[in-house]
Structure 1
Amino acid sequence: MSASAATIDADFDVNFADPAFLADPWTPLTRLQEEAPVFFSRNQGGWVISRHEDVRACYADRRLSAARGDQFFRGMPPEILAQTEAVRAFNRYNVNRMDGRDHTRVRALLLRAFDAGAIRKVEQFIGEVVEDVLDECGRLGKFEFLETVSAVLPTRVMQRLFGLPDEYRPLLFNLASQFTSASSAAAVTPELLIQLDKAIRAINAVFDTFIPLREKEPGDDLISMMVHARDGLNKLSHEEMLYNLVGLVVAGAETTAHSLATQTARIARDPALTQRLRDDPDCAFALTTELLRYPGTVKCMTRYAAEDIELRGQKIAKGDLIWIMNAGANVDTRVFSDPFTTIIDRPNARDSMAFGPGLHFCIGHLLARTELAEFLKRAFRRFDIAILQDDVEMLSSYIFYGFRSLDVRFTAR
């Protein structure tokens, strides 16, 4: 393994679990961009990629494998592996952890199901769901945002998208929460993996009930669309369908939950942004797109080197772990002018790495932005929103930029 770039201090490193990094990952990442853009972190046990150009290249590089499920199981004893078959199956069948032909085939089928028609269906009911949540916000007045909004809105949207009865909503959120606890923990414990396995098995039982029903009597829900997605004679296997539905729950619920809180806080603390959103509600989609760039939600993704490669003079060995830092790429001044300023009509908004471009570009990106935009424009139209704490404890996650809690007051306008 090659030494890191000689320009950086020998004792410099990053620690993704450090509270300072959780609150501000950008300061050390922008330093790395200048001094060691391909940097081996002893703390993180892998290569940190921080420049926009390199992040984009890594996402497109077929020599870097997305089959990263082994991160969960490093050092786990055999008895834990025996109790976590559902987690291991998720890592085998979920499209975001596949490479090569299997990834291409499954992704193409998912895109047939998760098309513009699915988004149009969401748009038909998302306003109704948002207004119901905002009614509760108005009733409470002062409340904890993550519990009242973040834990409710995304799972209600996913539940409606799947065509599931209301009673299954808590299972969806529990799965998303358990998955994030395990996948983003600084150190994955056997207890986290066992809880995640139980959550996956519980939601699998629900999908196992509804998949045969949708095969016989398809509707306009996402499960029906996935059941009947075809490319010639090709279709999703039962396992592929099951574990990609699990993946959609995780991505559709937990990721959006963090964005709702961070974006609401940022707008509420900026009178100019608040007024712009009220004067021009149609800017909400562009605004949420810009806030997904910075401060963003997904700080990084991981890959493994499938073969020996070289990047900016650094020799990366087969099997090395690679941290692809979206958070660094999205504030790279080589690409974004005034990167820490919210510019709603930013001309190169498409250069954002928010949804991991390239081979594994997020299938649900349009759904996430639609949901966020609808909430923001309706919430700030109906309420004056105050953030009731100066210091917010950050979520201890290497993946997500988010809050542990957020106390707010919604006052009807």
Structure 2
Amino acid sequence: MQKNSNISLSLKQVYNDEYRAFPYPLYHRLRELDPVYWDPELQAWVLTGYNDVVTTLRSPKVSAQRFEIEKEWLPEAFYRQMEPSLRAIARQMLFLDPPDHTRIRGLVAKAFTPRMIERMREHIQQIVDTLLDDVLAKERFNFVEEFTYPLPAIVIAEMLGVPSEDREQFIRWSGDFGTLLEGADLDLEQGMRALYGVQEFIDYFRKMIAQRQLQPRDDLLQALIHAHEGGDKLDEYELLGNCILLLAAGHGTTTELLGNGLYALLTHPDQYMLFQQNPEIASTAVMELLRYDGPVQSTSREVKEDIEIDGKRIQAGSTVVLCLGAASHDPAHFTNPDQLVLDRKENRHLAFGQGIHFCLGAPLARLESEIAFSTLMRRLRNPRLVQEPEWWSGLIFRGMGSLLIEHDV
């Protein structure tokens, strides 16, 4: 297995202050040094080229089965307590290969249909307008706290039948789940705290599912409970794990897309004006905002058998990190990739992944974002950044904790 001798660069440098606000120069440096880069700090191969990332995501020689918390890392009694929760997470579509992935995704897709999503259009517009009525009544507001958190949380919670009064709880649990997925450099206390949150999340859905046995309702959770194919249905762990995935992913990534997207628009006034004057480009604009600064920056795979990528032989058992953010800024595939171009014509970005694990919730994220940004372009008057946002940028997820904006009331 060939490895780079240069150890001055690591993808883990995305945590450094110099790359927190804009990690793409780091990705370019990695790609220029070696697009198939052995990262000694991650002990993994890092792919930053578009074609390599797409090819690997589609390859049957790599496995998505990568969720594993080493038993030895946790106190024995705590591990036994968490084992059912860990089993549920491991049965999420995100971490499965065919045939299990094919079966479970097919069952979930029967419940989470494009028709169900499109039916939400008018209601999403109402939620957006209601939130903005409150937000835009003030001269200064925190866009993340007052809009990007509640909007997707309300939408996915209503779809799943989660009571509105429980929204703050599941936002916190979604954060615990994201912390667990991000995983880099978690100490024992942080890891245990995140696992406790995920266990509470699972227990919450377990109670909801038990209630639905007695009092069925017409919503996404009920559809998941009843989803079947040829007599097959989701077992308890598959149902619990994928309820968490749908709710956490349906909330977290859209929250980050909205925040990252508005910041990109405010820092590119020519593109903001283009959008404002041409509302019909909403769909294309959202695709470019996803490409330019997407909420999911990377994913990973485990190599099942020896493969060759761009002349490098990578042995079975190796980990490959697929840098989606870097691939979507690859100059070999996108003209002027670090420029925001809302009417970009060819835009096969990788913000939602590629292949059999392409994000099932992509149509919902796009619909919410198109409605949100179109409405903002119509109602937001002369917006101005009060200060630079509080970025948090990791190996996997990228977003901001706050975005303070002033506008003309």
> What TM-score do the two structures reach when normalised by structure 2?
0.92
Matches within 5 A, 1:3-152: 3-4=3-4, 9=6, 11-14=8-11, 15-70=13-68, 75-152=73-150
Equivalent in the alignment of 2:379: 382
Identify if the C-alpha distance between structure 1 residues 70 and 140 changes in structure 2 by more than 3 Å, giving closer, same or farther: same
Which of the numbers 344, 347, 371 marks the counterpart of 1:346? 344
| Secondary structure of the structure 1 residue equivalent to 2:339 | coil
Which of the numbers 382, 396, 403 marks the counterpart of 1:406? 403
Once the two structures are superposed, residues 205-253 of structure 1 have per-residue CA deviations (whole angstroms, 9 ceiling, x without a partner) of 3323332444565443111221222212111112211110000111111
d(CA) in 2 for partners of 1:73, 1:64: 24
Once the two structures are superposed, residues 41-75 of structure 1 have per-residue CA deviations (whole angstroms, 9 ceiling, x without a partner) of 11222110010000001111122111121267784
| Secondary structure of the structure 2 residue equivalent to 1:296 | coil
Matches within 5 A, 1:305-316: 305-316=303-314
How far 1:126 moved relative to its partner? 0.7
Q: What is the root-mean-square deviation in Å for CA atoms of aligned residues?
A: 2.2
How far 1:254 moved relative to its partner? 1.0
How far 1:313 moved relative to its partner? 2.5
- Aligned residue-pair number: 407
Which of the numbers 239, 247, 263 marks the counterpart of 1:265? 263
d(CA) in 1 for partners of 2:107, 2:91: 13
Equivalent in the alignment of 1:2: 2
How far 1:352 moved relative to its partner? 0.8
How far 1:152 moved relative to its partner? 1.4
Equivalent in the alignment of 1:291: 289
| Secondary structure of the structure 1 residue equivalent to 2:408 | strand
Which structure 2 segments of 5+ residues have no match?
none
Which structure 1 segments of 5+ residues have no match?
none
Identify if the C-alpha distance between structure 1 residues 252 and 26 changes in structure 2 by more than 3 Å, giving closer, same or farther: same
Q: Is the 8 A contact 1:80 1:190 kept in 2?
A: no
Equivalent in the alignment of 1:364: 361
Which of the numbers 243, 246, 249 marks the counterpart of 1:248? 246
Identity fraction in percent: 28
Q: Is the 8 A contact 1:307 1:319 kept in 2?
A: yes
| Secondary structure of the structure 2 residue equivalent to 1:40 | strand
d(CA) in 2 for partners of 1:167, 1:101: 38
Structure 1 residues 94-103 or 122-131, which shifts more? 122-131
Q: Is the 8 A contact 2:389 2:404 kept in 1?
A: no
How far 1:355 moved relative to its partner? 0.3
Equivalent in the alignment of 1:160: 158
Matches within 5 A, 1:192-207: 192-207=190-205
Letter in 2 for 1:249: L
Identify if the C-alpha distance between structure 1 residues 122 and 196 changes in structure 2 by more than 3 Å, giving closer, same or farther: farther
d(CA) in 1 for partners of 2:39, 2:77: 31
| Secondary structure of the structure 2 residue equivalent to 1:339 | coil
Structure 1 residues 169-178 or 305-314, which shifts more? 305-314
Equivalent in the alignment of 1:178: 176
> What TM-score do the two structures reach when normalised by structure 1?
0.91
Letter in 2 for 1:103: H
Letter in 1 for 2:94: N
